[in-house]
Structure 1
Amino acid sequence: MSDKIKYEMEFVIRASPNLLYQYMATPSGMSEWFADNVNSRGELYTFIWDGSEEQAKLITKKSNERIRFRWLEDEEDGEDYYFELRIQVDEITKDVSLIITDYAEEDEVDEGKMFWDNQISELKHVIGSV
């Protein structure tokens, strides 16, 4: 098992932190842009894309600020990998950014970034922040 590399991406989103958080922290919100369908039972979230399922555990969340998940397969490997969506507001301009932190194996980082680019453009489309 090779080590994964941590990477971060930042997207400016024209939406209030409150609105943005609803799309990050609720299964119904996430199923509008992140996956085809999202179900949750307590801390366990199931993400469905084209019929394949991935499960993640909610590790931490802070209202209108951030949410962090760990894929169950990473947890089984005993690895401390996670993916996090964090809202950042510029104190001066009040611009709202969404910071994505994720991990991928070295040869999959570009693929991971492309995935997030696609999902975030879908998110912007859904909330009208184009």
Structure 2
Amino acid sequence: MAMPATSVKRRFEMEYSINASPKILFPYIASASGLSQWFCDDVRLDPDHRLNMVWDKQSHFAEIAAQRPGRSIRYVFLDEKKCSQPDANYLDFTLESSLITDEVFLRVTDYSDHLDAEEQQELWESLVGKLREQVGG
């Protein structure tokens, strides 16, 4: 279903402390198999190296727009025809370590037309909870 041209996008940003090293965490945010363990129902790589992220049996295609190995990755979502679009939804995952406390943080930036900030926060709390279970942190 196409979104109306007037949809308003919001940038949701949150940091979550995760008790695991960036080396252990990075594959969970940057690989299809890792993402499918906590982020969505399934993730497949298509022949054109686009990610097909599946939620509730619906495909959402994304491309990796930027990546700093071991540190961060950005997924930009494509339209129904798997094409880039202006002002596209995107997701950034960034791993940061505190030199003082040795804690590792996952910073999530979710730029989308998600309307309810409280619901979005609950969604990410739940997803990151699943990630923590996977990595034992």
Question: Structure 1, unaligned stretches of length 5 or more?
Answer: none
Question: Within 2, Cα distance between the matches of 1:108 and 1:43?
Answer: 32
- Encode CA deviations 1:59-86: one digit per residue, 9 max, x unaligned: 0111110010111139754115421000
Question: Which residue of the partner structure matches residue 109 of structure 1?
Answer: 117
Between the aligned residues of both structures, percent identity stands at: 29
Question: Which residue of the partner structure matches residue 48 of structure 1?
Answer: 54
Question: Within 2, Cα distance between the matches of 1:88 and 1:43?
Answer: 27
Question: Which residue of the partner structure matches residue 28 of structure 1?
Answer: 33
From 25, 31, 42, give the equivalent of 1:37: 42
Are positions 1:8 and 2:13 aligned together? Answer: yes
The verdict on how the C-alpha distance between 1:88 and 1:37 changes in structure 2, with shifts beyond 3 A counting, is same
Could you tell me which amino acid in structure 1 is paired with residue 76 of structure 2?
R
Could you tell me which amino acid in structure 2 is paired with residue 91 of structure 1?
L
Number of corresponding residues:
129
Shift of 1:53: 1.2
Shift of 1:11: 0.4
Q: CA RMSD in A?
A: 1.9
Question: Structure 2, unaligned stretches of length 5 or more?
Answer: 1-5
TM-score w.r.t. the length of structure 1 is 0.89
Shift of 1:7: 1.8
The verdict on how the C-alpha distance between 1:73 and 1:109 changes in structure 2, with shifts beyond 3 A counting, is farther
